[in-house]
Amino acid sequence: MSDATDAPYGARGGAVDTVPGAAAGAAPAGSGGTGAPGHRPGTLGLAEVPPAERGATRIADRVIAKLAARAAREALPAAPAMPHARASVRRHPGADGGGGIAHVRVTVELRYPSDIGAQCGAVRRQVTLRLGELAGMELTDVAVDVERLHSEHLLRGAAERRVR
């Protein structure tokens, strides 16, 4: 039977992960030993793999749309009913196949009378901020469409006329 130092097997007979380029006899990756230069204990050798070779996370457009709609609702003033907002996303992939340029269109329903321009500006800023924080995206265009205005005067008047 061969000596344990001759083969890359541990005491239990299982294979031991070694760090590429590590010196012979160096501690296995993730073992907490000294390992390769620059190796941190517990990283399983990730310190040696360049970021471009590790892979990428792609967030689906429908997830981005849901995040944008939620951010739009966060920006609108509190109302008895949850403000209504929908979003759609159009992305052009970047040269590396990643995020690229994103255009977001948010459709909202607002209360009236109110400063519609200020509310649309607040929605635009909040969507840009939150998508940057949550998805790491940089947006080039956030279009805000006002689909419907809800007049409190009309709603109040209609409720008073129905109750007798």
Q: What is the band of 22 on the pLDDT scale with cuts at 50, 70, 90?
A: very low
Query: What token pair was written down for 141?
Result: 């265009």
For residues 71 and 18, membership in a common domain is answered with no
Give the end of a domain, one of 13, 31, 55: 55
For residues 35 and 114, membership in a common domain is answered with no
Return the pLDDT at 15: 47
Return the pLDDT at 96: 56
For residues 48 and 82, membership in a common domain is answered with no
For residues 80 and 7, membership in a common domain is answered with no
Return the pLDDT at 127: 95
CATH number for the domain that contains residue 82? 3.30.300.20
The mean of the pLDDT values for the chain is 73
Parent domain of 153:
61-162
Residue 163 vs residue 106, higher pLDDT: 106
What secondary structure, in 3-state letters, does 17-50 show?
Answer: CCCCCCCCCCCCCCCCCCCCCCCCCCCCCHHHCC
**pLDDT tens column, 61-115:** 898 899 999 999 999 987 656 678 889 888 766 555 555 568 899 999 998 888 9
User: Looking at residue 52, what DSSP letter applies?
Assistant: G
For residues 11 and 76, membership in a common domain is answered with no
Over range 30-52, report the average pLDDT: 60
Count the domains in the chain: 2
For residues 39 and 14, membership in a common domain is answered with yes
**Where would I find the H helices in the chain?**
61-75, 116-135, 152-162
For residues 47 and 78, membership in a common domain is answered with no
